[in-house]
Amino acid sequence: MWYSRMALRRLQRIAVTPRNITGALTSSVQREMSSLPRVYVTRQIPPEGLKILRESGQVQFELWDSDDVPVPRKELLQKVKGVDGLLCVLTEKIDAELLDAAGPNLKVLSTMSVGFDHLSLEELKKRLTYSACVCVFFCRGIRVGYTPDVLTDSVAELTVALLLTTSRRLIEATHEAKTGGWGTWRTLWLCGYELANSTVGILGLGRIGVAIAERLAPFKVKKFIYTDVAPRPELASVINAEYVSLDELAKQSDFLTVCCALTPETKEICNKNLFSKMKNTSIFINTSRGGVVNQDDLYKALSTGQIAGAGLDVTVPEPLPTSHPLFTLKNCVILPHIASASYTTRNAMSALAANNLLLGLQGEPMIKGLEL
């Protein structure tokens, strides 16, 4: 269901509010810290989340005390041994190796992200078999929390900013002004493409896609179109968007923004087949996941003029090596995965991740949990 702006703000308030979980402080005073559930936090998350963990009295936790460098894999595999809960970010690959290293005590995984392609969902719900004298069957039974919704506004804002920056060639213009290229006024110099009377296509219509369209509508966009695994009439009605096939999305869009999750079905869905159908005046924007784009095909489409420009907040790999060919193109704007990077949003994400973790360890329903 689509969240109204009021409902979204309410969720953000809920996310940053410490959960009033039964026995949080009183019981913790009465028992030794060593008996509390053990939690490992893989990053120095924003302060709201750490505050909730510290003040809960529910857990003893250790964290990788850095926000600049991810925890080395070897150390991560050591630190998760025997933990009851794990709070991670999208840089950590949660796979069979890590889950086996953690062992059977691990009951809750909370990720500070809306995407969960870094989690092996099959492994998290896998039925395992161990054999001693007899076979013993058990399921991992790990509960998973994530942090959608609270980042909708910031991602939508960044997407619009990236779209305008790319279509109006602002990075090129700034470079020319700084390096002496700003000469006499010229009639077509640094001309770009405007939103007025345009068709905007959305690949993957969810809350973020709707929020992007709402922000673009005041620019006098003529029409919104979208494609998804199936029509989404309730969401589409909010922005008066028309459902079309992927081919039609490519053919009709003056601006095509990608908002879908990375799944086996969407991996490299934006490839030469899609780019070949787009207008040579089209602008391509991706703020979802880098894996939905075939970057070699995108480079060819941009370098040959098959499409006019691209703005990317996500790439494969991340960070993208500075020697990558996409960086040589003036018509490609690349950002370092900052769509949710506002103080408000990142704190709300960390708080929601912390609350999901605590609720999960108490056996209570998470605020936002995945059904495995």
Known catalytic residues are: 337
The Cα–Cα gap between 142 and 71 comes to 22
DSSP one-letter code for 42: S
Q: Look at the alpha carbons of 352, 354, 359, 365 in this order and tell me if their dihedral is positive or negative.
A: positive
- The amino acid occupying position 286 is N
The Cα–Cα gap between 170 and 112 comes to 32
DSSP 18-79: PP--TTSSHHHHHS-GGGSPEEEESS---HHHHHHHHHH-S-EEEE---SSSPPPHHHHHHH
DSSP three-state, residue 237: helix
Cβ burial, residue 68 (10 Å; 0-12/13-18/19+): exposed
Q: Cα separations (Å) of 281 from 17, 68, 199, 251, 254?
A: 47, 39, 12, 11, 7
